[in-house]
A and B are shown apart, each in its own frame.
Chain A
Amino acid sequence: MLLARDLAHAFGAVQALDGITFSLDRGQTLVIFGPNGAGKTTLLRVIAGLIRPRRGSAEVEGGRRAIGWIGHQSQLYGQLTVIENLRFWASLYDVPAGTVQERARALIGRLGLERQEQQPVRTLSRGQAQRASIARALIHDPAVLLLDEPFTGLDRLAAEELRTLLGELAADGRASVLVTHSVEEGTELATEVAFMRSGRFAAHGPRAGRDAAALAADYRRIMAGA
C-alpha cells in the first residue's frame, strides 16, 4: 500500500532525509521513534506529497486521495462547527453527497463527539479537537494514515482513547505510519518499528513482541551509538 524508496531531502546544508526505504502492507503500522530534528515529520510530509524529495520516491496506492493525516494541529476551521468542518473536508475529497451525512454521523458517534457536533471548533477542548481532527482525517475513508506526534498535548485518558481508536483503525486494514519522540506512546500500535537519527533509519524491522521497556532500551542503545 505504501512504498518509500531511497528518500532523500535537504534543507540547505541540513540533510533531513538520507536514503529512507520501507514498505507497508494493509493492516501494518510502522512506528518511527526519534529525537527532535531526526527528520520524522519531513518523512511524513514527503510521503504526503507536501515536499518534493531531492531523491527517491514515495508511492501510496490510490494517491493523495488515499491519505489521511493526523497531527498535533487539527487542520479544522475554528469558526465552523464540527459537522460543517466534516462536510467541507468530505466535499474536497469528492465523498458522494448522499453518504457524507451518514459517514460524518458514524464518525462523530465513534469518536464520542455527539454533544459537540454543532459547536464551533474553537470552543472545543484539546482532546475534543483532536478527536474532531481524527474524524476529519477519516471522513474520506483513507487507506493510509500518517500520524505526526498525534498524542502531543493530550492528557492520559485522551491519549489512551486515541491509542484504542488507532488500534481499531489498523484492525480495519489501514496501513499507518506514526512518528513520535516518545517510546511509551506508540509501542502497542506498532507492527514495524524504526529508530530514526539524522535523517536515516538507524534500525528498522518488525516489532517482534518487544514491549515499551525493551524498545526503550534498544532506543537508548542505538541513540548512544550516534
Chain B
Amino acid sequence: MPDLLRHAWLVARKDLQVEFRSRTALTLALVFTALVLVVFEYGRDPTAVPTLDLAPSILWVTFSFAAVLALNRAFHAELENDALEGLLLSPISRSSLFWGKLGANLVFVALVQLTGLALFVLFFDVPVWRVWWPLILVMVLASVGFIAVGTLFSAMVVRTRFAELMLPVLLLPFLLPPLIAAVTVTAKLLGGRPLSEVLGWLRLLAAYDVTFVTLATLLFPATVTE
C-alpha cells in the first residue's frame, strides 16, 4: 500500500508539473467554463424562471462538460513520445498509475470547478457563502466517482481515432447518477433546506464513488495491457 500511494503521488506530481508547464488544457477548460456561464447568463429570460431554480442545473452542466474536456487530456502527454510505454515498463503497478492519473485529474477538475464556482457567483449572484462547505462536499462527492470512470475511459480511448468524441459519448451515461444527485442537493442547499434533508443523496454519491473507484482500479490494468 505505501508503494502504491508513493508511486501514485510521483505520477500525479509529474502530470501536474507537465500541465502547469504548458497550461493548454487548463486554460481551455477555464475559458470554456467562463463561456458556458456567459451563454447561460445572457441566453435566458431572467423573468421567466427564477435564477435560483435554474442555477443548480447551470452549475452542474458547466462542471460536467468542463470535466470531460479536462479528462480528455489525461493520457495525451503520455502519447507524445510514447511515455505511456515507459510507465508500463517501469516497476510501478498499473493501479499506482491509475491512482496517480486519478489524483492529477481530481486536482485539475477541482481547479476548474473552484474557478467556475467563483464565476457562477459573479454572474448569477447566488448566495453560496452560507452553504459553502456542504457545497464543496457535494462537489467532491459528485466528482470522485465520475472522474475515476473518466480516467479509465480516457486510457481506453486515447489510442483510438476520434478520442475526443468517444470519451464524452462513453462517459455521459455514467455521469447521470452523480449529476442528478448533485443538482438535487445543490438546489436544496441553495433553497435554504437543512443538510439533514440531503444526507440520503450524499450517501448515494459516496456509494457511487466507492463502487466506481473500486471498479475502475480493478479494470484499469486490463485496459493498458495487451
Q: List chain A positions with a Cβ less than 8 A from chain B.
A: 45, 48-52, 63-65, 67, 69, 71, 73-80, 84, 88-89, 91-94, 120-121, 129, 133, 136
Partner of B90, one of A77, A92, A129: A92
- A226 to B87: give the CA distance in the assembly, Å: 37
Residue pair A80, B17 in contact (C-beta under 8 Å): yes
Chain B positions 78 through 95: 1 when the CB is less than 8 Å from some CB of chain A, otherwise 0: 001111011111111000
Residue pair B81, A75 in contact (C-beta under 8 Å): yes
Closest 4 CB pairs of A and B: A75-B86, A73-B82, A79-B21, A92-B90
- A93 to B21: give the CA distance in the assembly, Å: 24
Known: A64-B90, A84-B17, A89-B90. A73 touches B81 (CB 8 A): yes
Q: Does B18 contact A (CB under 8 A)?
A: yes
CB under 8 Å from chain A, chain B span 87-132:
87-92
25 pairs of residues in contact across A and B, judged by CB atoms under 8 Å: A48-B89, A64-B91, A69-B85, A73-B85, A75-B83, A75-B86, A77-B18, A77-B83, A78-B77, A78-B80, A78-B81, A79-B17, A80-B14, A80-B17, A80-B21, A84-B17, A88-B14, A89-B86, A92-B7, A92-B87, A92-B90, A92-B92, A93-B90, A93-B91, A136-B86
Q: Does B31 contact A (CB under 8 A)?
A: no
Closest residue of chain A to B14 (Cβ to Cβ) is: A88
Most chain A CB within a 10 A radius of its CB, from B77, B85, B86, B91 = B86
Partner of B10, one of A69, A75, A84, A91: A91
Known: A77-B14, A88-B14. A64 touches B80 (CB 8 A): no
Q: Does B226 contact A (CB under 8 A)?
A: yes
Beyond A92-B87, A93-B90, list 17 extra A-B contacts (CB 8 Å).
A48-B89, A69-B85, A69-B89, A71-B82, A73-B85, A74-B81, A75-B82, A75-B83, A77-B80, A79-B77, A84-B17, A89-B90, A92-B90, A92-B92, A94-B91, A133-B81, A136-B86
Residue pair B10, A88 in contact (C-beta under 8 Å): yes
Q: List chain B positions with a Cβ less than 8 A from chain A.
A: 7, 10, 14, 17-18, 21-22, 77, 80-83, 85-92, 225-226
Closest residue of chain A to B3 (Cβ to Cβ) is: A94
What's the nearest-Cβ distance from chain A to residue B143, in Å?
25
Residue pair B17, A50 in contact (C-beta under 8 Å): no
Residue pair A77, B89 in contact (C-beta under 8 Å): no
User: A89: which B residues are within 8 A, CB to CB?
Assistant: 86, 90
What's the nearest-Cβ distance from chain B to residue A61, in Å?
14
- A77 to B84: give the CA distance in the assembly, Å: 10
What's the nearest-Cβ distance from chain B to residue A154, in Å?
15
Partner of A79, one of B18, B85, B87, B92: B18
User: A136: which B residues are within 8 A, CB to CB?
Assistant: 86
What's the nearest-Cβ distance from chain B to residue A79, in Å?
4
User: B83: which A residues are within 8 A, CB to CB?
Assistant: 75-77
- A132 to B77: give the CA distance in the assembly, Å: 18
Known: A75-B83, A78-B80, A91-B10. A50 touches B88 (CB 8 A): yes
User: B86: which A residues are within 8 A, CB to CB?
Assistant: 69, 75, 89, 136
- A76 to B14: give the CA distance in the assembly, Å: 12
Closest residue of chain A to B77 (Cβ to Cβ) is: A77
User: A120: which B residues are within 8 A, CB to CB?
Assistant: 21
- A79 to B83: give the CA distance in the assembly, Å: 12
Closest residue of chain B to A84 (Cβ to Cβ) is: B17
Residue pair A75, B91 in contact (C-beta under 8 Å): no
- A93 to B82: give the CA distance in the assembly, Å: 18
What's the nearest-Cβ distance from chain B to residue A96, in Å?
14
User: A69: which B residues are within 8 A, CB to CB?
Assistant: 85-86, 89
Closest residue of chain A to B83 (Cβ to Cβ) is: A75
Residue pair A75, B85 in contact (C-beta under 8 Å): yes
Closest residue of chain A to B87 (Cβ to Cβ) is: A92
Residue pair B81, A121 in contact (C-beta under 8 Å): yes
- A77 to B226: give the CA distance in the assembly, Å: 23
Known: A50-B226, A92-B7, A92-B10. A65 touches B81 (CB 8 A): no
What's the nearest-Cβ distance from chain B to residue A1, in Å?
17
What's the nearest-Cβ distance from chain A to residue B206, in Å?
32
Closest residue of chain B to A79 (Cβ to Cβ) is: B21
